[in-house]
Structure 1
């Protein structure tokens, strides 16, 4: 079958459909968009039905709905569960978008909109690939199931319960996911590892009110000073996290792993120049790709307190706050890590500061064996379409539900991403390169035929 011609002929219609989905502001983190999230779920269900999938269902949860569909008419053939999400990140800061985030725009071969690459654009490829095979051949070469959720951007709180309650319904030989990226243009990758995650919020309180810095300065504790002093204890000068026990469960980076990372031929100087930086920074003794793929981190995501308006206000703030996230690797236990950070903060709390710690999300790291046939066939599919075999990588990001999916269903996760690292996911001007939209469709068809 000539799938290249088929997709070329359908391209305008496919992009029109995708833009319709992208125009729905399905922001799962904001309660004001609950109805929009529901609309996006129903849109997915309707599109799956039109594509020829069966048993299409929109399952309500305690949060946002999960969309299920299947096509199970290939006895004796493998079953592939295709996972994705239709919810998107908030759009702030809105003023940095060149075009409105929910008014999709195509320019310079890229589709701009919130959710274009994360993840509506990528899961859309799977729906259209399955539809194409059914329209061209009347049957699928494998059994296919879809599980598309609406809470991935808020750490999938309700999907684990759905998985546990529906293990037989969702049973599969592999979980196919497109929510990652190529290494760079024309250089496909299959992720065999994702970092875990844990988060916490830290607050410092001093006096019971803000104070005049002339009348009280130098005589009372300053919440901002205390917080900055406390946060500075979390790392040493070499970029290593100073929390006792933080590296427990972190695997030694073997020479084989370092050789695999080196195959990426990553250009650190180009990255530095592209980001407008004088120098890169991180844990001493590791390259950039090793730091971001195989090493744990502790990052400050927000530090705030005191007067932040225009001009000057001579105030000693009574409170200050910080948001912290950690990316975890290997066998690091997120609950243990949070406990160790809490103990460190308490032990180093400055004089006169009252400390409050609120623990947040927790997710284990995910790893899979790149030698598994399901992953090797994915590399074959990439090679057939892109002309170069995919490299097996470890990604620095976290998709907490991947480890859960693989564990509960006892199936390998095949992470075939079609985004690019510079497509601004989670940031203003998110976009999806249409070259990978086109090649992604063909690659998914090839993969479903190979397995």
Structure 2
């Protein structure tokens, strides 16, 4: 493993080169958690991160789980100062389809100031900025101004199956005032951001069953209930023409956007024409009365994620299908309860099923939305550090996606969470040609190094690490 830079490094360029070398080493490890053939590579990535943390002089441990190792490390407590916990992951998505990569997914390649590799931005590169930020401060010869803890896992890309239990089991050890997560994006190039809210999710599989087998649509059509027709009517009933979701009680607990938030969102440099061009669409739609950013970040939604029924092959086959299915997700905002959504969904759909058909609603995963106060001293500390690293004041945004572990941290550790993304929205996460801008990588290291002093100065803390 490349040795960490130390205080004797003569130039900033030398330190940047050493940081890039470390990043490229980690990116070369194909730690694909979804593929059992890469189990040894996942372990190897854990070993690499553990060695790096230990090489900084931190106390490092592996928290036992039935799956991939969860690494825990900590610096010494600092009396009267807050405690920060950094969360990240060293596992990556599968690289498929391989033929769409312009360079091998596990051979980091630099083009136009970006490094291309699986895991570059999600999340090896972003996670590593915090490791290197702490390492840089320690290499300068002085102690950290507060206690920093690390919790780095290897199963995020397969649902973090064992992490929630580990957090609950070790919450005394993990106690902190603020959690730092960098696994998201800036608002735009040159416009860094602090994300203060996430939507939750409620995900379902709907199955409509009719006759015991597919039937001839000419012989039986009109006399037998068609499950595909029924499913189409059920899905059409979910949302009205104004974009409002028709599930009973769905909006009862929706936390409205504040005027401050709506004003802040409207001031962001969002180019709707560019957004449409980026997506390859001619128009946008959604809930009436809200802007595109408000719909994406802070309003609940319903989307059909998958559909199947009947004959899918080439040419025509006139069948009345025996079964039809769909996958449906609702994005939730703070205060909405996934269990209440499930009850409302059944109340809406069950009466719409005609004789001769049976509906099964299978809930999958669910998580509530979360929002953190903008007036938290940790928000201002993060903004100050980002401005030092990126040379620009960050904007405050919400995110339409869901990170269930954030809810776990907030609930179990009773801590605020700072979502500080250094990536960009075109980094191709989970897709071929994933990338990370190297300038942003280095700026992320600088922002991280500045964050610890900023947090220590901005809040006296509760001494949770002592």
Quote how far apart the aligned CAs of 1:39 are: 3.0
Quote how far apart the aligned CAs of 1:250 are: 0.6
Question: For structure 1, which segment, 206-215 or 242-251, has the greater mean C-alpha deviation from structure 2 after superposition?
Answer: 206-215
Partner of 1:78: 82
Partner of 2:45: 40
SS in 2 for 1:68: strand
Distance 1:254 1:93, change over 3 A: same
Distance 1:306 1:88, change over 3 A: farther
Contact 1:295/1:329, CA 8 A, preserved across alignment: yes
Distance 1:287 1:296, change over 3 A: same
Distance 1:430 1:192, change over 3 A: same
Distance 2:177 2:83 in 1: 5
Q: Deviations over 1:303-356 (max 9, x none)?
A: 123333344444332222211121111200111112212332222224432212
Q: Deviations over 1:249-272 (max 9, x none)?
A: 111223222112112131212211
Contact 1:3/1:442, CA 8 A, preserved across alignment: no
| Pair 1:400 & 2:373 matched | no
Mapping for residues 348-363 of structure 1, pairs under 5 Å: 348-363=352-367
Partner of 2:118: 114
Distance 1:122 1:5, change over 3 A: farther
Distance 1:309 1:103 in 2: 38
Distance 1:426 1:3, change over 3 A: farther
* Alignment gaps of 5+ in structure 2: 1-5, 456-466
| Pair 1:306 & 2:310 matched | yes
Distance 2:180 2:215 in 1: 57
Quote how far apart the aligned CAs of 1:87 are: 2.6
Partner of 1:436: 440
Q: Deviations over 1:361-398 (max 9, x none)?
A: 11111111121111101101112232221111111111
**TM norm structure 2:** 0.90
Quote how far apart the aligned CAs of 1:94 are: 4.4
Q: Deviations over 1:129-155 (max 9, x none)?
A: 111111122432221110012233344
Quote how far apart the aligned CAs of 1:414 are: 1.5
Question: For structure 1, which segment, 424-433 or 120-129, has the greater mean C-alpha deviation from structure 2 after superposition?
Answer: 424-433
Equivalent residues, number: 450
Distance 1:409 1:19, change over 3 A: same
Distance 1:435 1:184 in 2: 14
Distance 1:169 1:314, change over 3 A: same
Contact 1:199/1:338, CA 8 A, preserved across alignment: no
Distance 1:5 1:301 in 2: 54
Partner of 2:387: 383
Partner of 2:192: 188
Mapping for residues 105-254 of structure 1, pairs under 5 Å: 105-254=109-258
Contact 1:73/1:139, CA 8 A, preserved across alignment: no
Partner of 2:377: 373
Distance 1:26 1:224, change over 3 A: farther
* Alignment gaps of 5+ in structure 1: none
Distance 2:95 2:319 in 1: 32
Question: For structure 1, which segment, 19-28 or 269-278, has the greater mean C-alpha deviation from structure 2 after superposition?
Answer: 19-28
**TM norm structure 1:** 0.92
Distance 2:267 2:78 in 1: 38
SS in 1 for 2:140: helix
Contact 2:423/2:437, CA 8 A, preserved across alignment: yes
Q: Deviations over 1:69-124 (max 9, x none)?
A: 11115343322111112233344444444344334332222222232212111101
Quote how far apart the aligned CAs of 1:279 are: 0.5
Distance 1:233 1:26, change over 3 A: farther
Distance 1:273 1:288 in 2: 14
Distance 2:32 2:341 in 1: 30
Distance 2:51 2:419 in 1: 25
Distance 2:77 2:439 in 1: 32
| Pair 1:364 & 2:356 matched | no
Tell me which of 10, 24, 29 is aligned to 1:24. Answer: 29
Distance 1:138 1:258 in 2: 43
Distance 1:402 1:244 in 2: 28
Distance 1:429 1:277 in 2: 22
| Pair 1:333 & 2:337 matched | yes
Contact 1:155/1:401, CA 8 A, preserved across alignment: no
Contact 1:230/1:350, CA 8 A, preserved across alignment: no
Contact 2:108/2:115, CA 8 A, preserved across alignment: yes
SS in 2 for 1:137: coil
| Pair 1:102 & 2:101 matched | no
Distance 1:154 1:385, change over 3 A: same
Distance 1:5 1:294 in 2: 48
